[in-house]
């Protein structure tokens, strides 16, 4: 794994660290692998810190996850048209059990200007359309499933829509 390039390690949805993370109970091992890869490659892309933080949140390492998520904030002038910082703040608020903070982040994300740049290209060339604003559905799922662990609030279909339809 440490020999993989950035795309193969982090952006291959079926390979890299994700192959390990898909195995039940291996979230902490996936977090450690991401950390090791970052050190080995001297890579400091914020998405690597984010993904390590997600795996730590899945594993119940809330404080470590929050610390990693905080590293991923973007300068405000680079984020005005995307809302990443609202997503980061909302996720941290969910983990810190700050419901008002989560609600503020949701409202902030709703204020992100509409965009015609709603497509993301994966490492394999597959083009995906994303909902706008990005990650609003995730924060709303966290609000909907406030009393559930991060893993469920983030990924359960029942959390993504009020009637269980995503």
- 160 domain-assigned: no
129 bridge partner residues: 119
- 161 domain-assigned: no
Task: Supply the range of the domain harboring residue 72.
Answer: 6-151
Domain containing 11 — which CATH number? 1.25.40
In this prediction, residue 13 has a pLDDT band, given cuts at 50, 70 and 90, of confident
Number of structural domains (the chain) is 1
pTM of the model: 0.88
Dihedral sign of CA atoms 106, 157, 11, 36 in order: positive
Q: Lowest mean pLDDT of 51-55, 78-82, 130-134, name the range.
A: 130-134
- 1 domain-assigned: no
- 140 domain-assigned: yes
- 159 domain-assigned: no
Kind and range of the H or E element at 30?
helix 27-41
């Amino acid at each position: 794994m440490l020999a993989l390039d950035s795309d193969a390690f982090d952006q291959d949805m079926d390979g890299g660290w994700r192959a390990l993370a898909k195995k039940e109970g291996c979230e902490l091992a996936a977090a450690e692998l991401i950390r090791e890869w970052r050190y080995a490659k001297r890579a400091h892309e914020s998405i690597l810190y984010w993904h390590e933080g997600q795996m730590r949140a899945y594993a119940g390492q809330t404080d470590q996850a929050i610390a990693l998520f905080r590293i991923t904030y973007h300068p405000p002038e680079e984020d005005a048209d995307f809302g990443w910082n609202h997503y980061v703040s909302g996720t941290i608020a969910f983990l810190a059990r700050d419901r008002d903070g989560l609600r503020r982040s949701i409202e902030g994300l709703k204020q992100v200007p509409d965009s015609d740049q709603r497509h993301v290209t994966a490492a394999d060339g597959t083009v995906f359309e994303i909902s706008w604003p990005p990650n609003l559905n995730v924060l709303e799922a966290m609000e909907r499933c406030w009393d559930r662990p991060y893993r469920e609030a983030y990924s359960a279909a029942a959390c993504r829509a009020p009637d269980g339809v995503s």
